Amino acid sequence: MIPVWVYYAFMAATTAVQVYSSVQQGKFQRGMAEYNASLAEWNKKVKQREAQALGEKMQYEIKQKRRQKDLLTSRQKALYAKAGVDIESGSPLLVMLDSVDQAEQDIMMLDYARSLDIQRVLAGGEAMDFEAALFRAEGRFRERAGYLGAMGSLLKGAASIYGMGSRPTFDIEPEQGTLVPSEGVGITHW
């Protein structure tokens, strides 16, 4: 017959392992959530750098478009002057003004498109802030769930140990073949 204290020891050890496991699992999950939150914050920084690079590219492209516009205007003036056409009035002036107007519209559209691209990238970065906050909240929740699971394991183990001590046990009386209360506490043995 196995002594009663061995059963109590096994129950206590099992409970301790379950408690430890629940706590460690909660801590691990919070750590993973913190890692994911850090990744989201890093991704936000990447998005901000991407938006900055898009802005610099936009400024360069606008500068190039303006330079092309100035070159076109200068070339038109030179060609009209070479042909002896008065560029201060009439059709040549209208053609030049139209060319300048079209180039400015192209620049404005380029500026608008790039602004939208920058806004889109920055919005993605702002979403990363929200995602990081969600990961952190989830981590706190999972850690708390680990502690609650540990408390549940502790209570279940205590209840099991208590139940072993309060349950009546029986022996079989060999002569009569009937069950009689035994003197052992908590463990049913035959």
Q: What is residue 34's predicted lDDT score, i.e. its pLDDT?
A: 92
Convert the pLDDT of each residue in 40-77 to its tens digit: 999 999 988 998 998 899 899 889 988 988 888 888 88
Q: Which two tokens stand for residue 116?
A: 């939208």
Q: What is residue 90's predicted lDDT score, i.e. its pLDDT?
A: 73
Q: What is residue 178's predicted lDDT score, i.e. its pLDDT?
A: 52
Q: Report d(CA 169, CA 7) in Å as an integer.
A: 14
pLDDT at 190 over 60: no
Report residue 32's pLDDT band, with 50, 70 and 90 as the boundaries. very high
Convert the pLDDT of each residue in 162-178 to its tens digit: 776 655 554 555 555 55
Report residue 35's pLDDT band, with 50, 70 and 90 as the boundaries. very high
Query: Which one-letter amino acid corresponds to residue 172?
Result: I
Q: Is 180 exposed, middle or buried (0-12, 13-18, 19+ CB in 10 A)?
A: exposed
Report the mean per-residue pLDDT for the chain.
Answer: 82
Report residue 189's pLDDT band, with 50, 70 and 90 as the boundaries. very low
Q: What angle do CA 138, 139, 145 make, to 5 degrees?
A: 90
Report residue 188's pLDDT band, with 50, 70 and 90 as the boundaries. very low
The answer to whether the beta carbons of residues 167 and 40 sit under 8 Å apart is no
Q: What is residue 101's predicted lDDT score, i.e. its pLDDT?
A: 87
Q: What is residue 176's predicted lDDT score, i.e. its pLDDT?
A: 58
Q: Report d(CA 59, CA 166) in Å as an integer.
A: 83
Strand partners, 180: 171
